[in-house]
């Protein structure tokens, strides 16, 4: 018989026969019958088990919690079950018995410490809220992906094993690759730019990125999922428009699927009217000065400074025209004011979500920028070659899926939105 998911029971008629599969969440024994609360990823339902209806009654009603079972039975809407529906079992099979005791509490209202949860992640994800996080994250990504396909972006997949750094610096994981040393890629940045020279015009990628930064904070991971785009024949303003529209597309998908649940998690979250506010880096310095806080041109803003700036812009907003000295070599200086760049950060309140910019497309300017950043152009010949034979003006951005999900759901730790987090101390499970 075809499987019925628990969420689909309400669509059946009274007396219909169904076959369910799931985990034993709870067992209650009475004198003449027993009840099992059965759970699958769509919900829970009460199973009524009578010894005269089910063979192996004693074994079934003594099975450990979180064991996996199948249940064949009949739908009953005229019952005393809290949900107004239950299943009268005709056949129950134990498919796999769970060990006892469980290494962490799941449904007792007891919060296990984070390390215990992550050490037993597959069990931890059975908890409905923890599972819901990743269904929301999946919907968010699907909404963004859907926007990209609807706007003629081509999905690509670039190498994650590379010979040199994307942006220079030491934040690279070095790995042994046959007879030589190579690196795990920090970003698909150089490759997606090279694809602009190929005529692909609009590309996006969803894939892993690796940063060997020795952070130990609630906002950083050493491996994360990056959503990247690059567009030809455009500037930073056009890709900012794509960014705000794609974020809203992701949120729309989330609210359509999980609106009730999301409003309970973060009541302040909403689909924000477009365009998002824009404020320049220099304007932010003036805002801080008005608050009596000194900010030096050329420095990144501190968390406290961003908190003060964010007071003026609830929700999403862009900080634009960042100083040239703090942006990567491939960032285009503003033609009329080369001290700053055609770049932006997308913020949500005090928290940075992502960066983007118009890129340098002239090969001579790009070489000059590499030298200014203390990098050797010869190390980037594979990249520069793509610029020597007709590179169009282009721009793009990258956003971390985990950080976006964490901020939108107002969660305290980015590890909550990573299935199997990788940080300075954790490489298992």
Instruction: For the chain of 429 residues, list the mean pLDDT of each consecutive stretch of 10.
Output: 92 96 96 95 95 95 97 88 89 97 83 92 94 97 98 97 72 93 93 96 97 90 97 98 98 98 96 97 97 94 95 95 95 96 96 96 96 91 93 98 97 97 94
**Domain 6-96, CATH among 3.40.50.300, 1.10.3720.10, 2.40.50.140, 3.40.50.150:** 2.40.50.140
**Residue 229 β-bridge partners:** 204, 397
Indicate yes or no: pTM above 0.75.
yes
Instruction: State how far the Cα of 375 lies from the Cα of 360, in Å rounded to an integer.
Output: 16
Instruction: State how far the Cα of 378 lies from the Cα of 396, in Å rounded to an integer.
Output: 24
CATH 3.30.930.10 domain range(s) in the chain = 128-417
Residue 60 burial by Cβ neighbours in a 10 Å radius (0-12, 13-18, 19+) = buried
- What dotted CATH number matches 128-417? 3.30.930.10
CATH 2.40.50.140 domain range(s) in the chain = 6-96
Strands (E), 121-263: 154-155, 161-162, 173-177, 180-184, 202-210, 223-232
Active-site annotation, residues: 211, 213, 219-220, 352, 355, 403
pLDDT of residue 106: 84
Neighbours of 281 (CB within 10 A): 21
CB 356 within 8 A of CB 397: yes
- Coil, helix or strand at residue 89: strand
pLDDT of residue 225: 98
């Amino acid at each position: 018989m075809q499987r019925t998911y628990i969420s689909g029971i309400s669509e059946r008629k009274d007396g219909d026969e169904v076959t369910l599969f799931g985990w034993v969440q709870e067992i209650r024994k009475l004198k003449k019958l027993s009840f099992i609360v059965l759970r699958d990823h769509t919900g829970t339902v009460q199973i009524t088990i009578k010894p005269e209806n089910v063979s192996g009654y004693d074994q079934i009603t003594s099975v450990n919690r979180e064991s996996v079972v199948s249940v064949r039975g009949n739908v009953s809407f005229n019952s005393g079950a809290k949900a107004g529906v239950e299943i009268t079992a005709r056949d129950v099979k134990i498919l796999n018995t769970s060990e006892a005791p469980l290494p962490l509490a799941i449904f007792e209202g007891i919060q296990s410490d984070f390390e215990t949860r992550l050490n037993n992640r597959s069990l931890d994800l059975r908890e409905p809220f923890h599972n819901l996080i990743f269904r929301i994250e999946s919907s968010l990504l699907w909404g963004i992906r859907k926007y990209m396909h609807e706007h003629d972006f081509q999905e690509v997949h670039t190498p994650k094993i590379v010979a040199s750094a994307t942006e220079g610096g030491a934040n690279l994981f070095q790995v042994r690759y046959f007879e030589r040393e190579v690196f795990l890629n920090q970003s698909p940045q150089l490759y997606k730019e090279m694809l602009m020279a190929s005529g692909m015009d609009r590309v996006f990628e969803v894939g892993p990125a690796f940063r060997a930064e020795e952070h130990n904070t609630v906002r950083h991971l050493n491996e994360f999922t990056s959503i990247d785009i690059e567009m030809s024949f455009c500037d930073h303003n056009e890709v900012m428009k794509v960014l705000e529209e794609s974020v809203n597309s992701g949120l729309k998908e989330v609210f359509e699927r999980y609106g009730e649940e999301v409003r309970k998690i973060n009541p302040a979250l909403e689909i924000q009217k477009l365009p998002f506010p824009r404020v320049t880096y220099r304007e932010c310095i003036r805002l801080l000065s008005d608050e009596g806080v000194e900010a030096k041109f050329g420095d990144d803003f501190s968390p406290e400074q961003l908190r003060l700036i964010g007071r003026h812009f609830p929700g999403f907003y862009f900080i634009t025209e960042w100083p040239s000295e703090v942006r990567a070599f491939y960032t285009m200086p503003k033609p009329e004011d080369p001290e700053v760049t055609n770049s932006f950060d997308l913020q949500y309140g005090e928290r940075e979500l992502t960066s983007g910019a118009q890129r340098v497309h002239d090969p001579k300017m790009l070489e000059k920028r590499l030298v200014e950043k203390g990098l050797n152009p010869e190390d980037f010949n594979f990249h520069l070659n793509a610029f020597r034979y007709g590179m169009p003006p282009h721009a793009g951005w990258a956003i971390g899926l985990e950080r976006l999900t964490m901020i939108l759901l107002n969660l305290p730790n980015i590890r909550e939105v990573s299935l199997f987090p990788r940080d300075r101390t954790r490489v298992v499970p």
